[in-house]
Amino acid sequence: MPEPIRLPPQPEACELCARNALLTRHHLIPKSLHNKPYVQKRYAKSERITATLWLCRACHNQVHRLFSEKELALTYNTRDSLLSDERLRTFVAWLADKPAGFHPRH
């Protein structure tokens, strides 16, 4: 029997801004694309499922505001690659010192 695929455990703080806020799981390779041939060629099933980050709602919303699902799957599929984008890095730096319950208005 194959080994079950285990998701990474939830940390105490957002993996982008490091705030102790309510966290949501962000799939670095969007679930809606898991069955696309170009995604299946690049990533094993276990990687498609386990490549996740725990993000606060503000960071999660900003990631999806900035990038299409295809961009997320092909280019911004790691924490470091997300933070390589200056727009997201600027947002995360701005958000980092806000209280956990703070939600930016967009």
Domain ranges of the chain: 23-95
Closest CA to 58 of 79, 27, 28, 88: 88
What pLDDT, in 10s, does the model give residues 13-59? 999 999 999 999 999 999 999 999 999 999 999 999 999 999 999 99
Nearest to 63 by CA among 12, 5, 21, 24: 24
Cα angle 40-36-80, degrees, rounded to a multiple of 5: 65
**DSSP letter, residue 24:** E
Report residue 1's pLDDT band, with 50, 70 and 90 as the boundaries. low
